[in-house]
Amino acid sequence: MSGIVADGVSRAFGHVQAVRDASFHAAPGRVTGLIGPNGAGKTTLLLMLASLLAPDTGMIRIGEIDPLADPLGARRLLGWMPDALGAWPSLTARETIVTTARLYDMERSAAHVRAAELLELVGLVDLADAPAKVLSRGQKQKLGLARALVHDPQVLLLDEPASGLDPEARVQLRGLLRRLASEGRTVLISSHILSELEEVIDDAVFLVAGSVVDAAPSQSAVRAWRIRLAGSGERQLRGDAERVATALSMAPESLGIDRTALLVGFSSELAAADGLRRIVEAGLAVSEFVPAQSALEHRFLNLPRTETGS
């Protein structure tokens, strides 16, 4: 099976350093998330991995293949889904997939069979004979995924695949990505929708200003927790804040309010557990005590911020 290795990869556009000495590994059988703020260099890095852009320095391997030295060999292993589908607007969804399959030297009959399979897989059967120009953003994303899968690749590079999808389609996409990984494929997915990534990824690569960074929050990184007392409403939150703050030996103004709940910062899960114990021992009935941020959001929000790449 084929994985992805990047070692010391850099790319500049004039005076703008888009990717800086980036190194990471995406393993077969796993879904890896490529995460970073806007302008972090994610798309530039994906383009280099897809053999569509040459790095200035560093080494990339798709399986055992160097995409710079053997781009055709790399593309036989790769399925590439860009953020925006570069479709042929006059071709139907079926014709788009068949044409893509033919570009991979698939026989015409086999290409039509493969198109039917993929239209069913991504939920575009009812739009199979609609021209690409009439498809919605979400439907074009589905067509882009089908096109990336046409040659049964071992490595998938997906740039914002959930963009424009409705909630049901996003759930289906998560299930499909998990299934593809379980078949031994390497899946690298770039997305800004952290809640979606949380549900599907096994590993995370964080990119800031073009560099891969250590995403482990520092020991002093505070994570917000939502606390709601039983029977509480918006009108009672000020009083609840005073009672919870007293139980935690904190100033009431240090607590935040998020609609019907209080927001309290704790430096660790152990600190949060101790805080819950103290609130309960103070005789307060707690109906909700959960992180206000997912673990992935917490890591993302605590990334070191420097000047951005492109």
**pLDDT given at position 84:** 76
**pLDDT given at position 297:** 79
- Residue 309 pLDDT greater than 50, yes or no: no
CB atoms within 10 A of CB 244: 23
Q: pTM for the full model?
A: 0.81
Identify whether the C-beta of residue 267 lies closer than 8 Å to the C-beta of residue 222. Answer: yes
- Residue 307 pLDDT greater than 60, yes or no: no
**pLDDT given at position 257:** 87
Tens digit of each residue's pLDDT (9 = 90 or more) over 154-204: 999 999 888 888 888 888 888 999 999 999 999 999 987 787 788 889 999
**pLDDT given at position 232:** 77
Give the H/E segment covering residue 298.
helix 295-301
Mutual angle of helices 167-182 and 137-149, in 10-degree steps: 10
In the block, tokens 């607007």 appear at 89
**Confidence band of 308 (pLDDT split at 50, 70, 90):** very low
What domains are defined for the chain? 4-213 (3.40.50.300), 223-300 (3.30.70)
**Confidence band of 298 (pLDDT split at 50, 70, 90):** confident
Tens digit of each residue's pLDDT (9 = 90 or more) over 72-93: 999 999 999 998 767 688 899 9
- Residue 125 pLDDT greater than 70, yes or no: yes
**pLDDT given at position 12:** 96
Q: Of residues 244 and 193, which shows the higher confidence score?
A: 244
Tens digit of each residue's pLDDT (9 = 90 or more) over 13-62: 999 999 999 999 999 999 999 998 888 899 999 999 999 999 999 999 99
User: CA-to-CA distance for 208 and 215, rounded, in angstroms?
Assistant: 10
User: CA-to-CA distance for 204 and 30, rounded, in angstroms?
Assistant: 11
- Residue 259 pLDDT greater than 50, yes or no: yes
CA 113 to chain centre: 31
**Confidence band of 310 (pLDDT split at 50, 70, 90):** very low
User: CA-to-CA distance for 228 and 260, rounded, in angstroms?
Assistant: 7
Main-chain dihedrals φ then ψ at residue 115, nearest 5 degrees: -60, -45
- Residue 219 pLDDT greater than 60, yes or no: no
